[in-house]
Structure 1
Amino acid sequence: MAEPSGTDVENDRPARPLWVRWTALIVFVVLLGTAFVLLGRWQLARLDERRGHNEHTIANEKAPVRPYTEVFTRPIGEDDQWQRVEAVGTFDPDHQFVVRFRNGTDTNGAEAKGYEVVTPLRTDAGWVLVDRGFVAVPTGEPLPTVAPAPPAGQVRVIGHVRRNEEGSGGAVTPSDGQVRLINSPALAAALPYPVPDGYIGAITVDPPQEGGLTPVRLPELSDGPHFWYAVQWFMFTAIGVAGIVVFIRGDLRERKAQAARSR
């Protein structure tokens, strides 16, 4: 005598309704797919944000050079960055800072690890911090405790406007003339004179510097990986939806096979 199609023949008990399995699977995929779609949209938002920053950086970098006093009158924000400014004055060699653990390019243009040098510059309008550039350190050699001396006498600095780097107190507070991040309020606490918010990242110094310093490079102006990350998240969502179809069709084939064997 044939078993009814709703019976598990091997275990002689009613088969579990397929809709229960399908509902659980669909709910799981919907929840996971929603998360994947949100992650994909977040990556696309990051892409738009990055493109906006790139356009702003290019526009600021191409703008005419301005006196630094026209910009350093307020807290320096992201929109102020990468403008080119000019400052004329004399460096203070007695209050320099070695900024540790930086990446840059050496005098031959090769990628390197090393440090940057921040030196206050005295102008007719007051003091301003200047990142004089990057110095490569060969692998295995320690960072110096004393930075290369700046040019003596009056200098003309053309550089980029830079906002403060943010971090923990230990990262921004100088110790023995060394620091991890460049933060003007934290550095000002170690100076005998005030400095404005932010700093200048030197492009050129005239007369030229000695000591193997190279200008700090502009940020990477590519789209980054955000678009392809978004594509991956959307693909995961599509794979989940396709998996539902494959799973349901497999269940239907198995149930039909069971019904055929029971006849």
Structure 2
Amino acid sequence: MRRLILRWLALLAFVAVVATACVLLGRWQLSRLEERQQTNDRLLAREAAEPVPGEDIFGAPVTEAQQWQRVELTGRYDAANQFVIRLRTRASVPGVEIVAPLRTADGTVVLVDRGFLAAPRNAPAPAAPPPPDGEVRVIGFVRVDEQGPVEAITPVDGQARLVNARGLAGALPYPVADGWVALQSSDPAEPELAPLLLPELSDGPHFWYAVQWFMFGSIGLLGLVVFIRADLRDRRAQRAERARSAAPERQPQPTAGG
């Protein structure tokens, strides 16, 4: 019995560690669910909010707290210094995005992602369509710089993989503001480009991932109970077998007249 108890204690310790890990992972998934719900609420609120003037945002480094803030800018595009951002998708359709510098009235230059242009994945990137002439009024969402390796943010022949103001500024003859704008609408309009889409507003798989982790922990505890009960059942069967083996064999009774 002592050996069984030691084995049970060792198994209990192992199951306790596994169950604790499962509970922590489940709680982590629930925290991620809460964060995603908060992000969705913030996106919905900002999508419906009135745009703020661009000078309120782009006079300083753009922070994560300003991400997806609606902003309004008025200025003129630099059509000679556009960038094609490769390997993008919109609703699962492959293509590119076109980024152009927009010089505002106070001289600040802000990068504006004018929109999406469908293009085959393995074909050469299409040329950037020209932006509207003259003064343009842009409404869009504030975005922080996309991060990646140097080769992804440094443009080559006017093409790059990520939208990063510091990386793209290296190919421009003037400084640009931190961050960029994902265009929602403009006046004049952009007929050749599709506006960028907001991130998917869903809870994602986090709740069901949490349920799975909690189930894994519960299965481990249930398995421990089943294992111990099986040990006890085997022990009872062994004791009964030994008892039968130790019992003296009964001699046959003599028959009458024998």
TM-score, length-normalised on structure 2? 0.89
Alignment match, 2:251? none
1:62 pairs with 2:62: no
Post-superposition offset of 1:99:
0.6
Alignment match, 1:104? 90
Q: Which of 40-49 and 236-245 deviates more? A: 40-49
Post-superposition offset of 1:158:
1.1
**Matched position secondary structure for 1:94:** helix
Report which of the two structures shows the higher radius of gyration computed on alpha carbons: 2
**Matched position secondary structure for 1:47:** helix
Structure-2 separation of matches of 1:34 and 1:137? 49
Alignment match, 2:142? 161
1:119 pairs with 2:100: yes
1:236 pairs with 2:198: no
Say which of 57, 73, 78 aligns to 1:92. Answer: 78
1:134 maps to a residue whose letter is F
Alignment match, 2:247? none
Structure-1 separation of matches of 2:124 and 2:198? 26
Say which of 183, 189, 208 aligns to 1:208. Answer: 189
Deviations 1:141-174 (A, max 9, x none): 3322x31111122211111111111111111111
**Matched position secondary structure for 2:81:** coil
**Matched position secondary structure for 1:90:** strand
Say which of 178, 183, 189 aligns to 2:159. Answer: 178
1:116 maps to a residue whose letter is E
1:248 pairs with 2:234: no
1:35 maps to a residue whose letter is A
Post-superposition offset of 1:140:
5.0
Structure-2 separation of matches of 1:214 and 1:157? 14
- How high is the sequence identity, in percent, across the aligned residues? 55
Asked if the contact 2:87–2:121 (Cα under 8 Å) also holds between the matched residues in 1, the reply is no
2:155 maps to a residue whose letter is P
Asked if the contact 1:89–1:123 (Cα under 8 Å) also holds between the matched residues in 2, the reply is yes
Deviations 1:33-56 (A, max 9, x none): 111111111111111111121122
Structure-2 separation of matches of 1:210 and 1:51? 34
Asked if the contact 1:36–1:236 (Cα under 8 Å) also holds between the matched residues in 2, the reply is yes
Say which of 39, 42, 54 aligns to 1:53. Answer: 39
Asked if the contact 2:115–2:196 (Cα under 8 Å) also holds between the matched residues in 1, the reply is yes
1:222 pairs with 2:231: no
| Structure 2: segments with no counterpart, 5+ residues | 244-258
Asked if the contact 2:95–2:121 (Cα under 8 Å) also holds between the matched residues in 1, the reply is no
**Matched position secondary structure for 2:87:** strand
Alignment match, 1:13? none
Higher helix share: 2
Asked if the contact 1:150–1:210 (Cα under 8 Å) also holds between the matched residues in 2, the reply is no
Size of the alignment, in residue pairs?
242
1:130 maps to a residue whose letter is V
1:72 pairs with 2:38: no
Asked if the contact 1:164–1:199 (Cα under 8 Å) also holds between the matched residues in 2, the reply is yes
Asked if the contact 1:132–1:201 (Cα under 8 Å) also holds between the matched residues in 2, the reply is yes
Asked if the contact 1:99–1:116 (Cα under 8 Å) also holds between the matched residues in 2, the reply is yes
Structure-1 separation of matches of 2:140 and 2:10? 61
Post-superposition offset of 1:138:
3.6
Structure-2 separation of matches of 1:104 and 1:33? 41
Cα gap change, 1:139 to 1:173, in 2 (>3 Å): closer
Alignment match, 2:123? 141
2:110 maps to a residue whose letter is V
TM-score, length-normalised on structure 1? 0.88
Structure-2 separation of matches of 1:43 and 1:81? 23
| Structure 1: segments with no counterpart, 5+ residues | 1-5, 7-15, 106-110
Deviations 1:38-97 (A, max 9, x none): 111111111111112112222222211222111112211222122221111111111111
Deviations 1:91-131 (A, max 9, x none): 111111111111114xxxxx411110100011112211100
